[in-house]
Amino acid sequence: MIVWGKRCGEPINMLVEVEVVGGENSPLDLHRMFDLLSDPIEVMRVFATNPMGEDLWCRVTGWSSQGPCAAMSALAEDSGEGVVLLVYGGNEGLRLQPAGSSDAWEITNSNQWGEACLMLANGTPVE
């Protein structure tokens, strides 16, 4: 859920609440508010780390209790990391797979993995 604060028609504060219920996709429960520094955009690919620790281009989708949904990204302030690129999805997080894969999104696909959200370095490429 995004909450916008406005003054005279200009945004003064953008917040996003990321709430993920741990389950089959991501074992982590997450409930955090982020101060957004840019407008969220929908993303299809992100440069991220896979479960083996390799950095690679990945296809990404949001994941909800109903399956795939939009994945969004925006610059955000994180109290522990400074400015990060936040990538977030549905109520069950994000689902990723190597960019070269054209597999359908499935929770049982072993070439795919789930994340609650991604907090990547500012400047990390997304498409």
- Reduce the DSSP state of residue 112 to 3 states and report it: coil
Give, in order, the Cα–Cα distances in Å from 125 to each of 47, 75, 87, 102. 6, 12, 11, 20
Q: Give the residue from 127, 114, 125 showing the smallest Cα distance to 51.
A: 114
Q: What is the pLDDT along the chain (127 residues), one digit of tens a residue?
A: 445 554 555 555 688 899 999 999 999 899 999 999 999 999 999 999 999 999 999 999 999 999 999 999 999 997 777 899 999 999 999 999 999 999 999 999 999 999 999 999 999 999 9
Residue appearing with tokens 């982590």? 28
In angstroms and rounded to an integer, the radius of gyration of the C-alpha atoms of the chain is 15
pTM: 0.90
Give, in order, the Cα–Cα distances in Å from 44 to each of 11, 79, 117. 26, 27, 14
